[in-house]
Structure 1
Amino acid sequence: MRPLRAGLVLALVLTGAAGGYFLAEHDDEKRSSFSDPEPVAAVSPSYPVNPVVVLPDPDKPALRAGLRLHRVRVGTAPFHLGLPVPRGWERSVPAAGEWRWYPPPGLVLNTYFLRVRLIGNQYQPVEQAITSRLDALRTADDVEDFRVLSLTADGFVAEYVSAGYRRVTMEKYVVRNGADAAYAWIALVGRRQDRPGMTDLFDRVVAGARP
């Protein structure tokens, strides 16, 4: 009887061990199984996003096309620039090497104006000058919602919000004697409603600019 009883106990032990091994292996398979990756819904940003506040444009008629122009010269020979500007617009010199023209009766904030700057002493290739200017606009503290609308080899058109007003800027770089370095920078700033008139004026001013 003793050998029979010992054999029965041994069989039960082996059966229990095998069952435990099976359960453990089955449990490991369940734990180590992974489903295919699936997209996860985005969550709200952890910081508040303030909407850009845009104020109504000043109540002044839009810039019209076909303005009469007359030629002026800025700078001092041999470092000067001749260009056509709207007849009757008032000239301002906010800084050395920069000139601005405003429609009569003079400065009307957040409407439109023409600005010209001589930058030949910076010896910047046109491509580099454009990149620097775009970077400056993108990172300016008083510029929001900056967007490039068109980009060419010698300039760009962009819009942004500054001081609460939507602005459109058209900018070109002029070279001298076929050089690669930018000699002058011409910009026309206005509102969205001014854009057709701005395009007409800007193209004629740039076409008539002569270093």
Structure 2
Amino acid sequence: MRVWAVGLVGLLVASAATGGYLIRSERDGDATSYDGPAPVVAVSPSYPVEPLDLLPDPDFPPLLASLPMRVEIVGSKPFDLRLEVPGEWIRTESSASEWKWHPPPGDVLNTYFLRVRLIGNQHGGVEGMVESRIEALADAQGVRDFHLESQDTDRFVANYVSEGHRRVTMETFVTQPGADVVFASIGLVGREVDRAGMTDLIRRISDSARVGPDYRNP
């Protein structure tokens, strides 16, 4: 009796398997036998991407090359910095260690400006400070679509979108005399149409920059 029962169960299992295969074969003419697991082509997940709508740049004259310059000194002795800035630009003080210059009539939003920060109290090496600044800018709130265009030992160029406008930034870092410690950062921010003038101006400003003891004792 037990042998008969076992045989009956086996027959039922086999019939069920065969019946399932026949049903699938009738429903799907392309069905094939299963040969075990095999790798398949991965499909990248789809993430919702917010469209990047750029606003038109302000109708303001492009930054020109070869602007007349004047000498400015920021900070207090012996922690001061001497540099040349565009002669007609207007100076404002953002904080005790940050200054900005804008073309007249003043702070025209989303055009171009110069920013100088004294950061010697951070005691950072130049290469590390450049990397930190790039990371901070790329992750800054309100900054979108960040692109690092070029990077050197003490400077970089990037572009990004802020408040709906494409911005170009060129930043360079001034070291303390005889040391690889950053004393100041010089940043020039503008529009794509200002790029040629910015390239000329940031070079002239950075070449003129001298830390206090350096320019007082040439």
- Aligned 1:63-102 pairs, distance under 5 A: 63-102=63-102
Give CA-to-partner distance per residue, 1:142-185, whole Å, 9 cap, x none: 10001101100001000111111111000011001131110010
Amino acid at match of 1:179: A
Q: Superposition pairs for residues 64-143 of structure 1, below 5 Å?
A: 64-143=64-143
* Aligned amino acid, residue 188 of structure 2: L
Structure 2 residue runs of 5 or longer lacking an equivalent are 1-6, 22-32, 212-218
Q: What is the count of residue pairs matched by the alignment?
A: 186
Partner of 2:168: 168
Partners of 2:192 and 2:172 in 1: how far apart? 19
The alpha carbon displacement at 1:130 in A equals 1.3
Output one character per residue of 1:77-108: Cα deviation in whole Å (capped at 9) or x when no partner: 10000000000110000111111111011110
One-letter amino acid of the counterpart of residue 161, structure 1: V
Q: Which residue of 2 aligns with 1:187?
A: 187
1-structure distance, mates of 2:127, 2:45:
39
Asked if 1:39 is matched to 2:41, the reply is: yes
CA distance in structure 2 between the partners assigned to 1:182 and 1:42 by the alignment: 43
Q: Which amino acid aligns with 1:175?
A: T
2:214 matched residue in structure 1: none
1:5 is matched with none
Secondary structure class of the residue paired with 1:65:
coil
Matching residue of 2:196: 196
Distance 2:135 2:72 in 1: 31
Query: Deviation of residue 33 (structure 1)?
Result: 3.7
Shift in CA distance, 205/44, structure 1 to aligned 2, threshold 3 Å:
same
Distance 1:128 1:43, change over 3 A: closer
Q: How many angstroms does 1:43 deviate by?
A: 4.8
Structure 2 SS opposite 1:147 = strand
Aligned AA (1:134):
I
Q: Distance in 1 between the 2:121 and 2:167 partners? A: 29
CA distance, structure 1, for counterparts of residue 44 and residue 115 of structure 2:
45
TM-score norm. by structure 1 comes to: 0.82
Counterpart CA distance in 2 for 1:74 and 1:42 is 52
- 1:58 aligned counterpart, secondary structure: coil
Q: CA deviation at 1:128?
A: 1.5
Larger radius of gyration: 1
Q: Which runs of 5+ in 1 are unaligned?
A: 1-12
Provide, for residues 35-62 of structure 1, a one-character-per-residue CA deviation record: whole Å limited to 9, x for no partner.
5x342444533xx210122110000011
Q: Percent of aligned positions with the same letter in both sequences?
A: 51
In the alignment, residue 71 of structure 1 is paired with which amino acid? V
Say what the alpha-carbon RMSD is for the aligned residues.
Answer: 2.2
Which amino acid in the other structure matches residue 84 of structure 1? E
